[in-house]
Structure 1
Amino acid sequence: MDKYKEVIKALTEFRDDRDWKQFHDSKNLALAISIESAELNEIFLWKNGEEAENVKKEKIKEELADILSFSFLLAEKHNLDIFDIVLDKIKINAEKYPVDKAKGTAKKYDEL
């Protein structure tokens, strides 16, 4: 079994053992992703560049795990392959941000 299938199996078993699927509708999963993302942001709040780069990796791991877990569950709910959707998005972004215009700048695609 590949790692992705192993993770999805573990997540859904954890959820189902606790009868939490009833709470995992699309809206609540999306909200959970947003809330966990805010908790990741909180780790960096009020820190300068160097301080932000030196936060405890364990805290980052915990919040990223929550974000990814809810993201994987939302993708699984809608039968989306996370690898395909990310690769598709990279193709879209490559068109929006051609190297010759976007290299070295943080401008949005409509400002290039």
Structure 2
Amino acid sequence: MPSYPIAPKRPYTITQHGETRVDDYFWLRNREDPEVMNFLTAHMDYLEEVMGHTKPLQDSLFAEMKGRIQETDSTVPEKRGGWWYYSRTEAGKQYPIYCRKKETLENPEEILLDQNAL
């Protein structure tokens, strides 16, 4: 079994709002640093080695939880001014779609923001 990867401490002093603190792991924020990426890869390899045998259980639990979620759904419309505002989700899409309809809920939908398209 591989050993748990331990990040080296590299003290970095931060002063915010008149308070000073030391963050020993600030260097891990730099995604462009190959050493950071190597450390994260080592962590993922360790996780896979230690937890790999639980993959069938993880998949089963995920499928069960997902099966209890109604993927295509809509919030209760709220009237503001002459518009009905609501958000909805669609199966297979990760983020909500924000919409409105003018005056009545039977009118055509106007999509204000589809976060899936961003």
Q: TM-score, normalised by structure 2?
A: 0.30
Relative contact order, CA 8 A, sep 6+: which one is greater? 1
More strand by share: 2
More helix by share: 1
Report which of the two structures shows the higher radius of gyration computed on alpha carbons.
2
Q: TM-score, normalised by structure 1?
A: 0.31
